[in-house]
Amino acid sequence: MIAFRHADPRFPFLWENSVQPQGRWNASGELTHYFCDTPDGAWAEFLRQEEIHDPDDLKTIRRTLWAVEIDEQSFPQPDLPRETMTGGGETWAACQRMATVFRENYPGMSAPSAALRPGKACGWRVRGGLVPGPDRDGRMIAVFGRRPDITGWVASLDGRPDEELLAKVRHYDPR
């Protein structure tokens, strides 16, 4: 599958060491790469993490969006409540415990997007101009450890998300 990930333009699309801040599916020091099944999902993750709500702030964003080929066929989904897999920082400990079990048995895992609101991974269709595609939920894929086997392509250099995406983000601090 082709998945998407954003990165600071100064750095590659994967971490190469475990000096990584903790996230939903990794404790500090656990090397985990996060991908999304849509470009909007990747951007939503960034906007949520950086707590960006204001459309004016989007004008200053310059990130590289990567299209990355990964094989997610062996990536199971955790047996956790959806609210836990998509909740705020208070849910991270439960997710990290589950990821520890997965890390010992699988190369990665898949879960609902925590950053995109339900049904907002809809994309676009062309029918008399651009119209929203059918509602669908976004997915996140976490891949564990060093992965020199993964290939990525620059989809956008020095890009930024569309202003309309802000309304689709499940922010930590809803306004």
The pLDDT tens digits for 25-62 are 999 999 999 999 999 999 999 999 999 999 999 999 99
Global pTM value: 0.90
**Which residue do the tokens 């991974």 mark?**
121
Sequence spans of domains, the chain: 2-168
Q: Which residues of 66-87 are buried (b: 16+ CB within 10 A; e: fewer)?
A: bbbebebeebeebebeeebbbb
The pLDDT tens digits for 142-163 are 999 999 999 999 999 989 999 9
